[in-house]
Copies of this chain bind each other. A is one copy, B any other.
């Protein structure tokens, strides 16, 4: 890879997500060369992907060009590439565009969907971890209604209008709520010759409550909100198989549904070459010490979703969310600078600022450290926090406008099938 050699130490960062970008920012204005590598040329604001999937936002609003992040930063380089493995002996990474030597390596490659080995579900279900997947889901939802209009087979029509969401975490809950709002405000207008009341939205959760990382009050209220919106909530249930039509669970419950959205698990992205002792098999996360260093290599670090720092408070590692990712990126940048200046490094400690989820119009749940609230105010807080977290003024402004517009008009305008999904990708439904 043709990156100029300088006398500065080279920090290579794999991944431009929340963790990677925090590290980039933290390394500004130092005598350090920084190379950021990502398989996309944009940062994805994952918390709002469900709004892309349900036609509330354009993909461009939740993505931000990585080259723009690096703009006017001397000694900062971006390369669009996929990393296949790390060679810790030679201090090199291998990518599809060549090898690159590092002095410090920061692995911030994030997470992917975890199907827990179920290949049928992997094959037939939809995921929502990146922009193209969200656009595929958007196309599929609308294609299903177009098809439902055409079929005379009532069973098939019902299956086309049956949406099963697996996983009751924030992604599942937010998507279920957004689909319920489409059912209420938009689809009956778009399909006057279809009985939209037949549309079913099911959310299937393995444990005994939704949003299990939040407080019990939040779980309870989120469930109430979903039921109010007409969503069927199934708890203590695991989806065990799916063939594109029949959804099987571990109980007597089953569905006939053309669409299954899998939001039931994530695992670390695969980066080869680190050695088995560094990777926790179950979750495919990289084991790190309190400085986010990979335990066997002092100059290799992992941060964010892919990193697993086992602490007494979090014996299975920190939650795979934006907050620890950003905090670790920031802290690690400081620690690398400290190391270069022969100063002591500071161990990372997670400071949770709370968590939140939105279910729909005027309906959200917020857990802060000392206060918990739900409903309209929580919804405004959710919007405010997410707006501020978006990168770039244009994205903030366009999202804000769309939210105000959708709120006033009870509408979502971007329900276009730009790239049909079904025709190309699925054999039959």
Q: What residue of chain B has the Cβ atom nearest to residue A405's Cβ?
A: B394
Is there an interface contact between B392 and A397, defined as CB atoms closer than 8 Å? Answer: no
Q: What residue of chain B has the Cβ atom nearest to residue A419's Cβ?
A: B132
A interface, size bucket = 35 or more
Check if A41 is an interface residue, CB within 8 A of chain B. yes
Chain B residues with Cβ under 8 A from A61's Cβ? 58
Chain B residues with Cβ under 8 A from A189's Cβ? 67-68, 71-72
Check if A142 is an interface residue, CB within 8 A of chain B. yes
Q: Give Cα A142 to B66, complex, Å.
A: 13
Check if A206 is an interface residue, CB within 8 A of chain B. no
Chain B residues with Cβ under 8 A from A59's Cβ? 58, 416, 418
A279 to chain B, nearest CB (A): 29
Chain B residues with Cβ under 8 A from A42's Cβ? 416-417
Q: Taking the full assembly, how many copies of this chain does it contain?
A: 2
Quick one: given A150-B2, A397-B405, A398-B398, are A392 and B419 in contact (CB under 8 Å)? Answer: no
Quick one: given A41-B146, A97-B150, are A401 and B397 in contact (CB under 8 Å)? Answer: yes
Chain B residues with Cβ under 8 A from A394's Cβ? 402, 405, 413
Check if A270 is an interface residue, CB within 8 A of chain B. no
A353-398 CB contacts (< 8 Å) to partner B: 392-395, 397-398
Chain B residues with Cβ under 8 A from A146's Cβ? 41, 80
Quick one: given A394-B405, A397-B405, A401-B401, are A417 and B40 in contact (CB under 8 Å)? Answer: yes
A153 to chain B, nearest CB (A): 12
A70-121 CB contacts (< 8 Å) to partner B: 71-72, 77, 79-80, 97-98
Is there an interface contact between B41 and A77, defined as CB atoms closer than 8 Å? Answer: no
> CB < 8 Å: which of B2, B4, B41 contacts A142?
B41
Q: What residue of chain B has the Cβ atom nearest to residue A143's Cβ?
A: B80
Is there an interface contact between B65 and A413, defined as CB atoms closer than 8 Å? Answer: yes
Q: Give Cα A271 to B101, complex, Å.
A: 59
User: Main secondary structure on chain A at its contact with chain B?
Assistant: mixed
Is there an interface contact between B65 and A190, defined as CB atoms closer than 8 Å? Answer: yes
A157 to chain B, nearest CB (A): 11
Chain B residues with Cβ under 8 A from A63's Cβ? 416, 418
Chain B residues with Cβ under 8 A from A401's Cβ? 397-398, 401
Which among A80, A150, A416 has the highest number of chain B CB atoms within 10 Å?
A416
Check if A131 is an interface residue, CB within 8 A of chain B. yes
A410 to chain B, nearest CB (A): 12
Q: Give Cα A97 to B419, complex, Å.
A: 19
A144-194 CB contacts (< 8 Å) to partner B: 146, 149-150, 152, 189-191, 193
Is there an interface contact between A65 and B416, defined as CB atoms closer than 8 Å? Answer: yes
Q: Give Cα A146 to B41, complex, Å.
A: 9
A10 to chain B, nearest CB (A): 15
A228 to chain B, nearest CB (A): 26
Chain B residues with Cβ under 8 A from A239's Cβ? none
A1-50 CB contacts (< 8 Å) to partner B: 1-2, 4, 40-42
Q: Give Cα A152 to B61, complex, Å.
A: 35
Which residues of A are interface residues toward B (Cβ below 8 A)? 1-2, 4, 40-42, 58-61, 63-65, 67-68, 71-72, 77, 79-80, 97-98, 131-132, 135, 142, 146, 149-150, 152, 189-191, 193, 392-395, 397-398, 401-402, 405, 413-419
23 contacting pairs across A/B (C-beta < 8 A):
A4-B193, A41-B142, A41-B146, A41-B417, A42-B416, A59-B416, A60-B413, A60-B416, A63-B416, A64-B413, A65-B190, A65-B415, A65-B416, A67-B190, A67-B191, A68-B189, A68-B413, A79-B149, A80-B417, A392-B413, A393-B405, A398-B402, A419-B419
Q: Which 3 A-B pairs have the closest CB atoms?
A: A67-B190, A60-B414, A58-B58
